[in-house]
A = this chain, B = another copy of it.
Amino acid sequence: MSTLVGGIEGGGTKFVCAVGDNEKNIIARTKFLTLSPEETLPKIFDFFDTYQISSMCIGSFGPIDIDKASSTYGYVTNTPKLSWKRFNFLGAMKQRYKVPFVWTTDVNIAAYGEYSLGAGKGYRNVLYVTIGTGVGVGYVHHDILYKGYNHPEAGHLFLHKRKNDDFEGVCPYHNDCIEGLVSGPALEKRTGKEGRLLKQDDPVWNIEAYYLAQTCMDYSLTFSPDLIILGGGVMKQRQLFPLIRSNLKKLVNNYVQFPELNDYIVPTKLGDDSGIIGSLLLARNKLNN
């Protein structure tokens, strides 16, 4: 009989829950909107209660507390979603399921999925960036999830504004930080239209690419990953990739060496499944350790 593991991708917009078997197959999955914990938890329980799960991984939107020595380990610490602020997510899950848990960010599970089976396969330092409702960064460094004092929150760096760009940004904490300038809501506020409704040659994509190139430059000069995988709703606009690469080349101005840019700034291979696949793999690893 197969040993089953459970994976959760708890994004800011939607939750995905899945059950995986020994052969890395997803044998069941479900998806629902991220509402309050009181509304969301019962849906998670409903789904997993019908399976005999041996380990679980939660990839949660954040910031979250991943410091095991902290009194708020397992909590969502800060978020514009007030009902989740200081909610003990891991604690609530552990109370229901007496199994080993992996507790990390939603972007880390996506980074791990792409590292294991996607665009990052074969590399040891894989940076995954999601550009959607928000901007988040997951990072596998030397084959494990990167952790310092806490997890990176690298979607909130400030950027050099483009000449004559007086767009004030949409981040509720920092206005025109990366997330405030390049997220889906930023695009929509800038143009009055959802990004997916804009023409491929709309001039806004040049602005978007300029800021995303600066974002990639920041991550290159700090993390120095083997490659940067760009995912999330906004990156479905594939015309952005060549624009980001050419802007990056110009900005860095040959100061540091990169791998060939076509292999360095790349789309996801697992698409919308990077996160849930990574979550299941991490849950499986937990079982084997």
Residues of A bordering B, CB below 8 Å: 63, 65, 77-78, 125, 137, 141, 147-154, 156-161, 173-174, 176, 214, 217-219, 221-226, 251, 253-257, 259
Contacts and interface: CB of A to CB of B under 8 A. Distances in A.
Contacts of A173: 253-255
Contacts of A152: 221-224
Contact of A224 (B65, B125, B150, B254): B150
A150 B218 contact: no
Given A125-B149, A161-B161, A156 B223 contact: no
A147 to B, nearest CB: 8
In the complex, the count of this chain's copies comes to 2
A149 B224 contact: yes
Contact of A256 (B78, B222, B223, B255): B78
Q: Which of A78, A151, A156, A174 has the most C-beta atoms of chain B within 10 angstroms of its own C-beta? A: A156
Contact of A148 (B217, B224, B253): B224
Given A157-B217, A160-B158, A78 B224 contact: no
Q: Across the A-B interface, give the 10 residue pairs with the lowest CB-CB distance, nearest first.
A: A148-B224, A158-B160, A222-B222, A125-B148, A173-B255, A153-B221, A149-B224, A173-B253, A154-B222, A157-B218
Contacts of A158: 159-160, 214, 217-218, 251
Contacts of A157: 157, 217-218, 221-222
Given A157-B222, A222-B219, A222-B222, A63 B256 contact: yes
